[in-house]
Structure 1
Amino acid sequence: MAVTLLPFVAMLITALHEPGRPPTGLSLPTTAHWENFTAAFEATNFLQLAASSSLIVLGVVPAALLFSSLAGFALGYLRPKGRRAVYVAFLLGLTIPFESAVIPLYYQAAELGTLNTQWALILPLVGLAMPFGVFWMTGHFRSVPLELSEAARMDGASTLQLFRHIHLPLAVPALVTLGILLFLNTWNHFILAIVLIDDPAKRTMAGALGAFQGQYQTDIVLLCAAAILLMAPTLIVFLLLQRHFVKAVLAGAIKG
């Protein structure tokens, strides 16, 4: 825990120093300059960036959760013919380096006319989330006891009703965990935000931090203050949903 928290503590201490004078090591400032966060808030145009990032997240996360749960239910419970080939195809998507798809995505976004818009990020990120999302949800639906589905079938439940009323409520911890991971990946996405969007106001938070770093490359104090502000939403979301996250992670370690 100390090793994990040390970089964040160092960043906070640096952000409290006088602008333009970064500390050497972990030396505490004689006077805490909390106004650095106000300056970073204004310099990064935080509210506009938060709105842009929220729009991208709302476009990516719900769609990715829907498609992943439907595909996972089909592959993990319905198990149609050819499911293994489809499942392996999704797994192969996990082995493809993301950087190799940046240039093709740029030309595809140019043909679709989505360059310099949030759609240039939303559409690719939904597709890039599918390999891990399908893998995650397929593993969950495979672990659901068949007795529950058989009892619902005997009561006349259709496949859609079985998915909606039986499997989907049981999948809430897995969906919340996947949603948190997708949120973190989308909110902090950097490469596509820089390549596909020229307007900094339409990028994600991480993409804006890259532009901020270029603008204040020598002012480490303001850069650390901006980084803390940009990380705050992700920490808040994780703290609010950590109970479901831990429950889903531990589910695979508890037999039955």
Structure 2
Amino acid sequence: MGGVRFRSPSTGRSIRAVLFDTFGTVVDWRTDIASAVAGYAERHRLELDAAAFADRWRDRYQPSMEPIRSGAREFVTLDTLHRENLDAALLESGIDPSDHDAGELDELSRTWHELTPWPDSVPGLTAIRSDYIIGPLSNGNTSLLLDMAKNAGIPWDVIIGSDMNRIYKPHPRAYLHTAQLLGLHPGEVMLAAAHNGDLEAAQAAGLATAFILRRLEHGPHQTTDLAPTGSWDISATGITDLAAQLCAASPG
């Protein structure tokens, strides 16, 4: 890798790897999940607001990980949690999942493997990759992230899934073990994310940070993460903007 690398004001180190939160930052989960739910509902003649159901399914994401982060539950993959959360969201919607074919529900849950990148994601990642190691720093398991990358043409150099760290963000080990697996000091790793809470945890673990604005991650009425709330190293309007700012780095 050539070129001048960005020197992080917060860590005092030159960045060697730029890693990305994936759901919401790199890919548009809500549009694809709502579309898949709408198709399922139409086939089975279910009265469902697909977008609201997608939100309900996603709302269970962080709470379902908390018993694992706390040690109350052994680690299971995000695929397992997504499938469990689908059943719970169906029940919450007045639909008994036991009345539906388990294989079809498994297939619906696999939609999380096939999400579409935001329009700027692939060109921005391709540009960043010329000078930095890039990969996901995600709660997704390795097979999920691999399928997503192959399906969407996401040009990762490396994929370290949560099943390799055996813990979920924002637990510090999720950030620190990823850096360790790359053979890097935490301060040489930058997390880019659309979620201020993720960046706060990464910064506390010693990583550099970049905020990526995604105004529509949660739909047109989004009220959270519309601006950076911390002293992150970079604030960008998208991944191509992040690439431009990294490429404009001057020698430290």
Q: Identify whether the pair has TM-score above 0.5, normalized to the shorter chain.
A: no
Greater share of residues in strand: 2
Greater helix share, structure number: 1
TM-score w.r.t. structure 1 length?
0.30
Alignment TM-score, normalising by the size of structure 2:
0.30
